Amino acid sequence: MLNGCGESIETESINLGDPFPVTQVERLDGTWMNVNSLRGKVIVFHLWASWCAPCRKELPAIENLIGQLDPDRFTFVGLSVDEDLNLLKEFKLKYAVTFAKYVDPKRVIAEGVLGVTAYPDTFVVDQSGYFVRRITGENKWDSLEMIALLEDIYQQGVIVVGTR
C-alpha cells in the first residue's frame, strides 16, 4: 500500500539505468541549478509538498539523514511542488526545513518529466548521472537500512565509474 499524497497509480517515465532526465531545477530564489554540476555524488532527488501529510511526517528523518551523510559523496535535492512559494518559505522557516531549496510549482519536472503521481517520491541518481533507484511514499530516511542502501549505491557507482 502506498503511503503518500495523490493517486496510487504508479507510472514510470524513465527506467532504471537511464540517464537522469532532469538537467536543471529552479531554486526558491528564482535562480537555476545545473543538476550535472552534482556529478561525482549520489543524488537523492526528493519530490515533496508542504500540504502532504506523509511528506511533513518524514521531515525530521530527512534532516537527520542529511546530517549523517558525507557531503562530498552525497547530496539531497528537495524539490517542492507547492504552488504558493510564499507559503513554502513560511513553512520552511516555521519547521526549520533546510533541504527544500528547489521548486517545481507547475509540476513540469515532477509530473511531466518524471511521471510522479503521488508524494513523496524519490529518485536516486548515481555519481555518473544514471537513475538507479525509486523510493515512493513515506520512508524512515535516517534508518540504518536507508543509510546502508545509499552507501551501497555509492560503492557500486565507484566500481561502475571506474570501469567505464
Domain presence at residue 58: yes
Q: What is the CATH number of the domain that holds 135?
A: 3.40.30.10
pLDDT tens, position by position, 71-130? 999 999 999 999 999 999 999 999 989 988 999 999 999 999 999 999 999 999 999 999
Average pLDDT, the chain: 89
DSSP-assigned letters across all residues of 131-159: EEEEEES---TTSHHHHHHHHHHHHHHHH
Gap between the Cα atoms of 117 and 128, Å rounded? 26
Whether residue 3 lies inside any domain: the answer is no
Q: 12 in a domain, yes or no?
A: no
Q: What is the mean pLDDT of residues 31-60?
A: 96
Q: Which domain holds residue 111?
A: 18-163
Count of structural domains within the chain: 1
In a domain, 11, yes or no: no
pLDDT band at 4; cut points 50, 70, 90: low
Surface-to-core class of residue 27, CB atoms within 10 Å of its CB (0-12 exposed, 13-18 middle, 19+ buried)? exposed
Q: Is residue 10 part of a domain?
A: no
DSSP 102-126: EE-TT-IIIIIIS---EESEEEEE-
- Start-to-end CA span in the chain (Å): 38
- Cβ atoms 46, 138 nearer than 8 A: no
13 is a domain residue: no
pLDDT tens digit string along 149-164? 999 999 987 554 433 3
pLDDT for 10 beyond 80 = no
**Are the beta carbons of 124 and 130 closer than 8 angstroms?**
no
